[in-house]
Amino acid sequence: MFKKILIANRGEIAVRVIRACHEMGIAAVAVYSDVDRAALHVRKADEAYAIGAAAAAESYLNIGKILEVARRSGAEAIHPGYGFLSENARFAQACVDAGVKFIGPTAAAMDAMGSKTRARQAMERAGVPLVPGTSRGLESIQQAEEVAARIGYPVMLKAAAGGGGKGMRLVHAPDQLKSSLEAAGSEAERSFGDSEVYIEKAIVNPRHVEMQVLADEHGNTLYLGERECSLQRRHQKVLEEAPSPIVDADMRRRMGEVAVRVAQAANYTNAGTVEFLVDQQKNFYFLEMNTRLQVEHPVTELVTGLDLVHLQIRIAAGEKLPFMQEEVSIRGHAMECRIYAEDPDNNYFPSPGKITLLLAPSGPGIRRDSGMYEGWTVPMDYDPLLAKLIGYGTDREQAIARLTRALSEYFVGGIKTNISLFRRILSDADFRAAKLDTGFLDRLLKQKQDGEKADQKEDAQAQVAAIAAGIFAGLGVSAAAAGERANGGSEEKVQPAARWKSASRREALR
Amino acid sequence: MVYDVTIDGKSYRLELERAEGGWACRLDGREIEVDAVLARPDVLSLRIGNKAYEIKSEHVGSDWHVWVGSARFASEVRDPRSLRSRARAADDQGPKKLTAPMPGKVVRVLVKEGDEVEAGAGVLVVEAMKMQNEIKSPKKGTIQKMLAAEGVAVNAGDVLAIVE
């Protein structure tokens, strides 16, 4: 087993991996950019190295600097987390060349999955169900028109190198095809340096369901059940759950077996995720494979009882998977909310800044993977994911109830977060009935304009706020000591705190 | 103490006196039994009668929010005896400052000094976390001063421009 692992990431995922390292008796090496010196992952690591300026290209995406830290620290392996270098085949290869184990798939497996058109070709050969369309880039508008007419409108244009919704266009009718094709191509060129665009039949109101796979380096590939990820905003996942409410044991087995075939077709090793679109008749189609640990991996961990990061590290160290497919079982239900620093009242615009107050939930069935702390200033330079709040219960209803309860305990002051959005989602009747598809969240957010101002605020609550505001003012809160009975005659209780304060001031002066 | 408290734009008159074991409290003349413990800075455990509330206090820039459970209330407390608070009412006229709502970088300046702008017209664009946010004019008027330049990093609350 490794003695020391470098984590080439930041935020909650870096903390998550550091924790796994410590649980396994492995030393954890953090890297940080100039604006992340005070970040939580630096505090939790055993060693920490500065790797440059805030811009990711100068730090978290800088292969040379990260490998230099691996050399200096003596780390034997690198965990890339998600995002940044996690799906960069060049980085995976550079690790091999530097004699450091990359905790993830090989560069070749990433390459096979990195281009969506090449992945489609490989999957076609492996007999994996695909959304009808082309498995090669479109060569002309005439070809696009022919294919679209054959598979039927609406169609989706997609960038071969794409991801995150960039270079994607939904086309409803032939007369929009030409302009959409040009727009998708130029956006793909700008975003990925590759203008290749292909065409697929657009599945109306699909669900997005993905299958977790694990493959060791001895030819064993297993599936760990699915995650429902239909709740998305601008093609970014917002809330995920496991199991999917529409997947039964038979469908899980069929999807799982396809996912294993997908992974094997690419000689895949380590943890990966095979994404599927599911139509209203529950037909599922291969969408793409994510060659990394997913943000939403905790929901799978809770319902399978497995620790995916431990297993990733064991696989990378050359161990065999310690269980068989028949031993994997799904128990209970888990759901994850991605807590972002963004402003629900300002079109979910990022809201970096200082966290002045943080009250974190806990209790039965609650897991919190967080990268923030009170007093920390959220930098403006990176993805605004602050934490993941995950609820677990015997069934979906209890998971929702626990998560709802935990959200009401969660308070992040000083910056805006999307916590209120989850309260809305979890109380929505369609959500509770599990009537989900990828358009769900957009529809919910549209309703918002009408109902929101009325937002369960009551007159009685406003009166409570008025009294509280007066008491805060009356106490001169900043001067008052915590724990003080904020009532009359408390002078002697203030004293110890005051003495402690003056003592600490004296200490600081010495 | 007597306070004028404004909660989400609605005004209340609050009389608060420390009394034996609690506060003597009158809200708009109505007597209310209140017991409060400051659990930690910015968190108040409040009992009104036998009902219990967890109250959070949050300062964001110049705004003050008081949270009752999960409901947020924009709050202001004035001591009516103070002259300063009386003067504040006349504040709507005259020059208005445009401030940065968050730390970020000015990526575009859309107008220059002396330009006429309508209320709601874009004045500049600030980028943070790879997203761009247009800062709009709060009123119809003239750009009296443009204090921001393209490419400059700004902090939350920094004055970017003044509209007269």
* Buried/exposed code over B49-87 (b: 16+ C-beta within 10 A; e: otherwise): eeeebbbbbbebeeebbbbbebbbbebbbbeeeeeeeee
Structure-block tokens of residue A457: 């605020």
Contacts of A411 in chain B (CB under 8 A): 56, 67
Nearest to A467 among B19, B38, B48 (CB): B48
Tell me what pLDDT residue A188 has. Answer: 85
* Residue A391 to chain B, least CA–CA distance (Å): 19
| Among A145, A64, A147, A53, residue whose Cα is nearest residue A98 | A64
**What pLDDT does A168 receive?**
87
| Cα dist from A325 to A125, A211, A225, A304, B28, whole Å | 25, 14, 10, 12, 68
Q: Which residues of B touch A190 (CB under 8 A)?
A: none
Give the pLDDT mean for B56-68: 91
Q: How far apart are the first and last CA of chain B?
A: 38
Q: List, for residues A330-384, the tens digit of each pLDDT value.
A: 999 999 999 999 998 888 888 899 999 999 999 999 999 999 999 999 999 999 9
Residue whose entry in the numeric block shows the structure tokens 């492996």: A126
The pLDDT tens digits along chain A (510 residues) read: 999 999 999 999 999 999 999 999 999 999 999 999 999 999 999 999 999 999 999 999 999 999 999 999 999 999 999 999 999 999 999 999 999 999 999 999 999 988 778 888 888 888 899 988 888 888 889 999 999 999 989 999 988 877 666 788 899 999 999 999 999 988 888 877 888 899 999 988 899 999 999 999 999 999 999 999 999 998 889 999 999 999 999 999 999 999 999 999 999 999 999 999 999 999 999 988 999 999 999 999 999 999 999 999 999 999 999 999 999 999 999 999 999 999 988 888 888 999 999 999 999 999 999 999 999 999 999 999 999 999 999 999 999 999 999 999 999 999 999 999 999 999 999 999 999 999 999 999 988 655 555 455 788 999 999 999 999 988 875 333 444 455 544 433 333 344 444 444 444 444
E-assigned strand segments in chain B: 2-7, 10-19, 22-27, 30-40, 43-48, 51-60, 63-68, 71-78, 96-99, 104-109, 116-117, 122-128, 131-136, 141-146, 153-154, 159-163
More confident residue, B120 or A269: A269
Of A352, A357, A420, the CB nearest to B129: A352
Give the C-alpha separation, B98 to B104, whole Å. 15
Contact B42 A383 (CB under 8 A): no
**Chain A neighbors of B130, CB-CB under 8 A:** 350
Query: B93 pLDDT exceeds 50?
Result: yes
- Compute the residue count for chain A: 510
Q: Do B38 and A357 touch (CB under 8 A)?
A: no
Q: Per residue in B18-53, pLDDT tens? A: 877 778 899 999 999 999 999 999 999 999 989 999
Looking at residue A449, its pLDDT comes to 55
Of the candidates B21, B68, B133, the beta carbon closest to that of A465 is on: B68
Task: Assess contact for A365 and A399: CB atoms under 8 A.
Answer: yes
Report CB contact under 8 Å: B3, A481: no
A488 vs B contacts (CB less than 8 Å): 18-23
B20–A464: do the CB atoms touch at under 8 Å? no
Question: Inter-chain contact A489–B75, Cβ cutoff 8 Å?
Answer: no
Whether residue A377 contacts residue B156, with contact meaning beta carbons closer than 8 Å, is answered with: no
For the annotated catalytic residues of A, the residue numbers are: 292
* pLDDT score for B86: 45
Minimal-distance CA residue of chain A relative to B60: A414
DSSP string, A214-275: EE-TTS-EEEEEEEEEEEEETTEEEEEEES-TT--HHHHHHHHHHHHHHHHHTT--EEEEEE
| Nearest by Cα to A7 from A75, A98, A68 | A75
Say if A1 is an interface residue toward chain B (CB within 8 Å).
Answer: no
Check if the beta carbon of residue A131 is closer than 8 Å to that of residue A285.
Answer: yes
B32 touches chain A (CB under 8 A): yes
Instruction: Assess contact for A212 and A227: CB atoms under 8 A.
Output: yes
**E strand or H helix that includes residue A349:** strand A349-350
CB contacts of A341 in chain B (<8 Å) are 129
Look-up: residue for tokens 């009935």? A433
**Spatial CB neighbours of B71, under 8 Å, sequence gap ≥ 6:** A455, A456, A457, A461, A465
Amino acid at A47: E
What's the pLDDT at A450? Answer: 53
CA-to-CA distance for A10 and A382, rounded, in angstroms? 9
**pLDDT on residue A166:** 75
Q: How many residues does chain B have?
A: 164
Dist. CA B40–CA B25, nearest whole Å: 22
Give the C-alpha separation, A88 to A71, whole Å: 20
Chain-chain contact of A466 with B27 (C-beta, under 8 angstroms)? yes
pLDDT at site A507: 45
Q: What are phi and psi of B22, to 5 degrees?
A: 175, -155
